[in-house]
Amino acid sequence: MFRACSLVAHALAAGAARVLPVEGVDEARARKAAHPDWLLVGERHAKPLPGFDCGNSPTEVLRRPLAGRTLIHTTHAGTQGLVAASRVAERVFTGALVNAAATVAAVQALQPEEVTIVAMGHEARERCPEDDLCRDLLHARLVGARFDTDDLTTRLRAAPAAAKFFDPTADWAPEGDFALCAALDAVPFAVALGCCSEDRPELRPWPGTHGERRAAAP
């Protein structure tokens, strides 16, 4: 949720047509070369990549004209998990606090026999508090259990990964990113993974393109 899946939800809410999650940097650059009008977004080790239009910053992305645009998105953990899940799961939704209520509603409406929640963690290598918190909230809501959100911002602020948002030297992770990622239920639709005409995964509002959108701002 810091920051890939939050970025996707906010970008689609701001009018982007779709987001293409990509595993490799070279593949992302190749897709940009083939489609110069698409927005190339991503990071490795949380830092922006050379030649990319934006880093993995929702604040930065929301400053760009997004209406009707396609985003190419590659990150160290989030897009890796999404692409991997697309190979084995019947239906894949992004997981983030910003559209948690809508995501839970979408999953419950499908009445699946089994739901797997994957917390990707830090660089897909180790657990991190913010992804564990998001996982626990989604799980609680799915099973109808109570989850206290009163101190949500405080708990997120204490996560080691949040430090970069408040570090003035980390201009690639503006403080606005923290607020956008912590904005519980700010986006009113779930984001689902499907296949585009090129038979590659793409993210759009669920269901289809009919999710209600509203403007998002840093």
Q: What is the pLDDT of residues 108-160, one digit of tens each?
A: 999 999 999 999 988 878 899 999 999 999 999 999 999 999 999 999 999 99
Q: Would you state the pLDDT for residue 197?
A: 57
DSSP-based three-state secondary structure for 130: helix
> Which residue, 184, 187, 185, 166, is CA-closest to 175?
166
Q: Which residues of 56-70 are buried (b: 16+ CB within 10 A; e: fewer)?
A: bbbbbbbeeebeebb
CA atoms of 118 and 42, how far apart (whole Å): 21
- The candidate with the shortest Cα–Cα distance to 5, out of 113, 112, 138, 125, is 138
Model confidence at 210: pLDDT above 80: no
pLDDT at 206 over 80: yes
Whole-number average pLDDT of the chain: 92
Nearest to 194 by CA among 99, 116, 107, 86: 86
- Domains of the chain and CATH, by start: 4-206 (3.90.1560.10)
Residue 217 pLDDT class (50, 70, 90 cuts): very low
Q: Kindly tell me the sign of the dihedral angle through the C-alpha atoms of 29, 31, 36, 38.
A: negative
Would you state the pLDDT for residue 124?
78
Tell me what pLDDT residue 211 has: 46
Which secondary-structure segment (H or E) carries 204?
strand 201-206
- When pLDDT is cut at 50, 70 and 90, the band that residue 212 belongs to is low
pLDDT at 44 over 50: yes
| Tens digit of each residue's pLDDT (9 = 90 or more) over 4-37 | 999 999 999 999 999 999 999 999 999 999 999 9
Say which residue, 201 or 40, is predicted with more confidence.
40
Has residue 213 got a pLDDT over 70?
Answer: no
